[in-house]
Amino acid sequence: MSLVGDFLTRWRAYRKPGYIYGDEFDGARRDYDEFDYAWTMTIDLDRCTGCEACVTACQAENNIPIVGATAFAKGRQMQWIRIERYWEGEYPNAKLGFIPMLCQHCDAAPCETVCPVSATYHNQDGLNAQVYNRCIGTRSCAVYCPYEVRYFNYNNPVWDAPLAEQLNPDVTVREKGVMEKCTFCIQRIRQAKDHAKDDGRRRVRDGEVQPACVQTCPAEALIFGDRKDPESRVSISMNDPRAYRVLEELNTDPSVIYLKKVDDNAG
């Protein structure tokens, strides 16, 4: 290939790691299939009861700081997954809707382009990864994220006396001045991949890895898996006619797919 063509390919690969382009360097985007995995989550809003078990599980699994009442009042709570509540209509005909909001692991993530030090990047699993050690705290990723799911450590985290004993050893504790967000429990994914490798298998099987929120959801509203595997539960559920993605018009290509709530009383 000519120098220019080669340069263009390299440039494209640099711009969008994991994308595959045509052999003839036509620049046509094929798919995200170059990723090893494409971890995806579907959230069935018909099943979600808004119980916030996922929020608690996430807090415990990922050593998320408990900010305390004062910081909470200032709007500095940390919830990698949060339940958004929306009221529709006026009392007495008010309806309450829930939507769990977490990092959408966008394939075209705005936060990744803005970080000046590449502390947030797309890894080979199609995950939007955050390198805490590299973060310098510009907080621009949080501004660029339309889902508002990035949380900043305004202070050093403190756990009251016995709580510090129950920190998850697989997850680092973040210091002040660092941005953090949902990782799809990357420590569990890593572990599952290691097991798969130890077993001499090539790939992680469906259902072998579950983030804490998925594991804990009593209504099984959350399904997690690899959408590259057409047989996986997540692949099947994401083809549901109710499937949609939040703020899809922004072209962020989220990896979290919501299944619309069916309203019996509608229309």
Partner 1 sequence: MQAEDPNISYADVNRDIVRSLVETGPKYYVTLAIAFGLTLACFFFPWFYQLNYGLGAAGVNHPSVWGTYLASFIFWIGLSHSGTLLSCVLHITNSPWRKAMYRSAEAMTLFSLMVAATMVMVHLGRPWFIHWAVPYPNQMELWPNFRSPLLFDVMAITTYLTGSSIFIYMGTIPDFAAVRDRTTGWRRHMYVLLSLGWRGTDTEWHRLGWAYTFLAVLIIPLAVSVHSIVSWDFALSLVPAMHQTIFAPYFVVGAIYSGTAGIVTVMFMLRKYMNFGKYITKLHFDNLGKLLLVLSLIWTYINILELFTGWYSGTSTEYEALTYKLFGYYAPLYWEMILFCAVAPLLLISTRFRTSFVPMLILSIAINIGMYTERFLIIGTSLSRQYLPDAWGLYVPSLVEITILVGSLAMFVTLFMVFIKIFPSVSIYEVKETLPEPEDGVAEWQPTQ
- Smallest distance, partner 1 to C-beta of residue 64, A: 14
Q: Which residues, 6+ apart, have CB-to-CB distance to 178 below 8 Å?
A: 132, 135, 137, 152, 153
- Comparison of 49 and 113: residue with beta carbon closer to partner 1: 113
Q: CA 71 → CA 18, 68, 74, 136, distances in Å?
A: 39, 6, 5, 22
- Comparison of 110 and 191: residue with beta carbon closer to partner 1: 110
- Smallest distance, partner 1 to C-beta of residue 103, A: 13
- Comparison of 136 and 219: residue with beta carbon closer to partner 1: 136
CA pair distance 97, 87, nearest whole angstrom: 6
- Smallest distance, partner 1 to C-beta of residue 174, A: 10
- Comparison of 143 and 163: residue with beta carbon closer to partner 1: 143
The count of other CB atoms within 10 Å of the CB of residue 254 is: 23
- Comparison of 174 and 228: residue with beta carbon closer to partner 1: 174
Scanning the structure block, which residue is given the tokens 């109710």? Answer: 242
CA atoms lying within 13 Å on the CB side of residue 139 = 7
- Smallest distance, partner 1 to C-beta of residue 229, A: 31
CA pair distance 189, 202, nearest whole angstrom: 14
- Smallest distance, partner 1 to C-beta of residue 109, A: 11
User: Which residues lie near partner 1 (CB under 8 A)?
Assistant: 15, 71, 74-77, 82, 84-86, 101, 110, 113-118, 134-140, 142-144, 146-148, 151-156, 175-179, 247, 250, 252
Torsion of CA 24, 27, 30, 36, to 10 degrees: 90
- Comparison of 136 and 164: residue with beta carbon closer to partner 1: 136
- Comparison of 116 and 162: residue with beta carbon closer to partner 1: 116
Q: Which residues, 6+ apart, have CB-to-CB distance to 81 below 8 Å?
A: 54, 55, 58, 100, 101, 102, 182, 213
- Smallest distance, partner 1 to C-beta of residue 180, A: 11
- Beta strand 95-102 with 120-122 is unpaired
- Smallest distance, partner 1 to C-beta of residue 87, A: 10
The count of other CB atoms within 10 Å of the CB of residue 210 is: 18
State which amino acid sits at residue 91: Y
